[in-house]
Amino acid sequence: MKFEVHLDSVTGKTRHVVDLEKDGTVSLDGQPVDADVVLAAPNAVSVLINGTAFEIHIAPSLNGTYKLQTGPHEFQADVRDPRAWRGGKQGALEAEGRQQIIAPMPGKVIRLLVNAGDEVEAGQGLVVVEAMKMQNEIRSPKKGRVERLQAKEGQAVNAGDVLAWVE
């Protein structure tokens, strides 16, 4: 599920694209992020990014936006509805050029879903990495051809290791 998030804080306004994959992987602005996200308590979302812990407290605000609070910092967030937004703009979000496929978390490659040279669709699974007893499917950010497959079944990987390239 892709979301366009507009953040407004004392330091200024920013726009981000957050992709929450069905397998639990997260990418931010097209880059995979080692992030674990859970609802820790009512209106409290816990986010672990590379182990750094954030607790974001969320309350609905005016005009359907959200008020976010973490420690002394506050953000106003406008999250665009993914279905309404997917409409005409999806092409603009698809990654362009040669893409590195990176392991978002440390784990073990348990299955290769494609072979080098295969044609793949955007969003198609390439490699399955198991971490914390969870199987995470690493997907292609674009339609194209698997140029090279670096990952091998059974291989241990660290966060940031290159698994494949898609041309």
Under the rule (CB under 8 A), what is the footprint of other proteins? 1, 3, 5, 7, 9-11, 14, 16, 18, 20-24, 26, 28, 33, 35, 37-39, 41-45, 47, 49-50, 52, 54-60, 66, 68-73, 75, 77, 79, 81-82, 128, 134-135, 137
Asked whether the beta carbons of 68 and 58 are under 8 A apart, the reply is: yes
**Tokens linked to 121:** 């669709």
**Closest separation between CB of residue 76 and other proteins, Å?**
10
Cα separation of the two ends of the chain: 24
Residue placing its CB nearer to other proteins in the complex, 10 or 92: 10
Phi, psi of 119 (to 5 degrees): -85, 135
**Closest separation between CB of residue 167 and other proteins, Å?**
26
One-letter amino acid of 124:
Q
Q: Which ranges in the chain belong to alpha helices (H)? A: 82-93
**Closest separation between CB of residue 84 and other proteins, Å?**
12
